[in-house]
Chains A and B, each alone.
Chain A
Amino acid sequence: MTAARRYPVLVALFIGALFMVLPFLIVAVNAVKSPAEYSANGPLSLPEGVYLDGLKDFWQRVDFGQKLVNSVLISGSVALGAVVLSVLNAYAIGIGRIKGRTWVLAFFVLANMLPQEALVYPVYYLSKEAGLYDTRLSVIIVFVVIQAAFGTYLLASVLGQFPREIIEAARIDGANKWQVLWRIVVPVSRPTIGVLLVFFFIWTWNEFLLPLVMLISNDNQTVSVALGVLQGQRLMDATMTNAAALLGVLPALVFFLVFQRTLTRGIAVGAVK
């Protein structure tokens, strides 16, 4: 292909990419404008200086630090718990090859595809009965199970290909099943487990419906829910909205930069299962 035909395509792709990131840029630019500047120059002008009071006000108003702690706590616990549960399930299915494993696996797949709407009211009701309503623990328990459905599915097919010789050799050396799992299967499967940890963390961080229903008090809310509820109430002015948007975007951006390779590779491993 000649250069004359090559560059228009590249330019078109870059314009497309710019369109994808433009909303982030506009938000970042406007989050550092003062209200006066915003109302005088509109959303498209470049900021005249860096004005951080809007961010500070918003942070204090919604107690954003607490929301971050909640999100990290919930997403982190879910990622760990769901990985442990997935590993146990997948060990039985992929390596133990238990009877009826196809059905067990199909059950986990369908459980993962189930809309949360079909669980939300009973979960809400049962957690009230159990005294777990409006606790972070309730959300953690539910998402450990939901994410483990996907993890089981993915890990079981990876472990189904696990070299049997290694396991048999370890058994001959006297290792029991429990030891084989933690000393051999888990270390060898570390790449897949790493991918699952990252995905579970981010998916749980982004979850909206169940946390919205289960976490009503300010002290327990996650970042996603706190921002979504504020937006739904339409109480915010433009500067506040931008501060909120920027603070919501930043953690996601950090995950993205830190885990970009894991994420894109993980999609290749995960989504195409």
Chain B
Amino acid sequence: MTVTVERGGRGSRSGRGSRGGDAVEAHHRAKGPHRPRDSYALFLLPGALAFFVIIVVPFLMNTGVSFTEWQGVGTPKWTGLANYRELMDDSEFWASFRHSLFMVVAMAAVPTVVGLVLAAALFDFVGKHFGSRTVAVLRACFYLPQVLPIAVAGIVWSWILAPENGSLNELLKAVGLGGLQQDWLGDPDLALYTVMGVMVWVQIGFPLVVFMAGLQRVDPQLYEAAELDGAGWWRRFWHITLPQIRPEIHVVLLWCTIAALKVFGAVYVLTKGGPGGATNVPSYFSFTTFFEKTQVGYGAAISTVLTVIILVLALVGLKLQTRAEDAEEGLRV
């Protein structure tokens, strides 16, 4: 993956063959049998132990419980794949995953596209004509929602979107569009789209900042040459910006898709999965199954399916990423 920290190891490696390097080697040899590799494993011990207790054991427990019927007290009753079979027929489960796809659109697809255009516009247009200070102010505005706790963002938006006296409805009335007033979060046909809108607002700053950082390593001569050849803004965007920051696009898409599949806080605060399950998502569904219905086995099955989907996606994403990098590396060397 792309290393954005300066001070590459390349220069240092070339210094290896120097006289100083040989002296070091000789010194090490003189010390006799020396196995520097394995003794470092001690440093990994606390981390490995902590991960075992906090991540591995609970994860395996959760998977194990998904094959049982359990209320959280007493002994779990082994039921094999019964929970999974039940899930397949559970329309609530399928609906929650369908809503996940909507969230992927709102939290990954739209922010990536908009973020790309915004980053390119800020970087090579505003930066060039209006100075880096203007860029910094605009970037800060777009990034601001990213530092907000999602619970607080939820409070802000559910009040703005309130049917009575909500700012959005008041605003519509004030500009003479009163006919468009809605119960944004309370209308089952509308709630999912409203939540999507809020998530776009929350998410947009992340790709923007990543892409702007990526654009900084694009050689400005590429743009200058294209401009001399008469390429317009869109052509430069399409033929230079996009291919140049492809690694960033990969990472942002992967990262945001996973975030979208995990989304919980926003749904909890904005709609509690309602109205009538219209905004239910897998994480919220498993949460209520665990703690409100106390069907722990069933909840564990939901979260196991979610986990499998995310891990498969992550593995495929990482694989594609390394392959793309290897290809690029091969071209460069």
Contacts and interface: CB of A to CB of B under 8 A. Distances in A.
Interface of A: 1, 6, 9-10, 13-14, 16-18, 20-21, 23-24, 26-27, 39, 42-44, 85, 88-89, 91-93, 95-99, 104, 106-111, 113-123, 125-126, 141-142, 144-146, 148-149, 152, 157-158, 160-165, 168-169, 172, 177, 181, 191-192, 202, 205-206, 208-209, 212-213, 223-225, 227-228, 231-232, 238, 241-242, 244-245, 248-249, 252-253, 255-256, 260, 263-265, 267-269, 271-273
B286 A117 contact: yes
Nearest to B264: A209
Nearest to A125: B72
B126 interface: yes
B103 interface: no
A231 B154 contact: yes
B27 A249 contact: no
Contacts of B279: none
A85 B121 CA distance: 40
28 contacts: A24-B144, A43-B165, A44-B170, A44-B174, A88-B46, A91-B40, A96-B40, A109-B318, A115-B261, A115-B283, A117-B264, A117-B283, A117-B307, A118-B63, A118-B307, A119-B58, A125-B72, A142-B54, A165-B20, A191-B5, A208-B150, A208-B265, A228-B268, A231-B158, A238-B162, A263-B143, A264-B143, A264-B209
A257 B40 CA distance: 40
A165 B311 CA distance: 38
B240 interface: no
B289 to A, nearest CB: 10
A93 B15 CA distance: 23
Contacts of B143: 256, 263-264
Contacts of B154: 228, 231
Given A13-B126, A121-B65, A98 B213 contact: no
A236 to B, nearest CB: 9
A6 B156 CA distance: 34
Nearest to B297: A121
Given A23-B156, A161-B7, A118 B141 contact: no
B148 A249 contact: yes
A176 B41 CA distance: 15
Given A44-B170, A152-B47, A252-B149, A115 B54 contact: no
A227 to B, nearest CB: 5
Contact of A96 (B7, B8, B37, B306): B37
The 4 closest A-B pairs by CB, nearest first: A96-B40, A228-B151, A268-B213, A248-B152
A109 B51 CA distance: 12
B206 interface: yes
Interface string B279-291: 0001100110011
B44 interface: yes
Contacts of A161: 3, 5, 7-9
B156 A252 contact: no
B94 interface: no
Contacts of B290: 120-121
Given A44-B170, A85-B46, A126-B58, 7 more contacts: A109-B318, A117-B302, A121-B290, A160-B9, A165-B12, A224-B149, A224-B265
Nearest to B291: A213
Contacts of A149: 51, 55
Given A88-B46, A208-B149, A272-B210, A177 B40 contact: yes
A260 to B, nearest CB: 6
Contacts of B167: 26, 43-44
**A interface, by DSSP: helix, strand, loop or mixed?**
helix
**B interface, by DSSP: helix, strand, loop or mixed?**
helix
Interface string B47-63: 10011001101110111
Contacts of A157: 1, 3
Contacts, number: 321
Contacts of B210: 267-268, 271-272
B74 interface: no
A21 B144 contact: yes
Given A20-B141, A165-B12, A119 B59 contact: yes
Interface in B262-314: 262, 264-265, 268-269, 272, 282-283, 286-287, 290-291, 296, 299-300, 302-304, 306-307, 310-311, 314
Contacts of B7: 161, 163
A17 B167 CA distance: 18
Contacts of A16: 118, 142
B37 A118 contact: no
Q: Give the most central of B43, B59, B291: most A CB within 10 Å.
A: B43
Nearest to A265: B213
A272 B247 contact: yes
A258 B291 CA distance: 38
Interface stretch (B79-87, B218-226, B251-259): B251-259
B140 interface: yes
Given A248-B155, A252-B148, A271-B210, A168 B40 contact: no
B138 interface: yes
A253 B156 CA distance: 14
A144 B314 CA distance: 22
Interface in B235-259: 247-248, 251-252, 255, 258
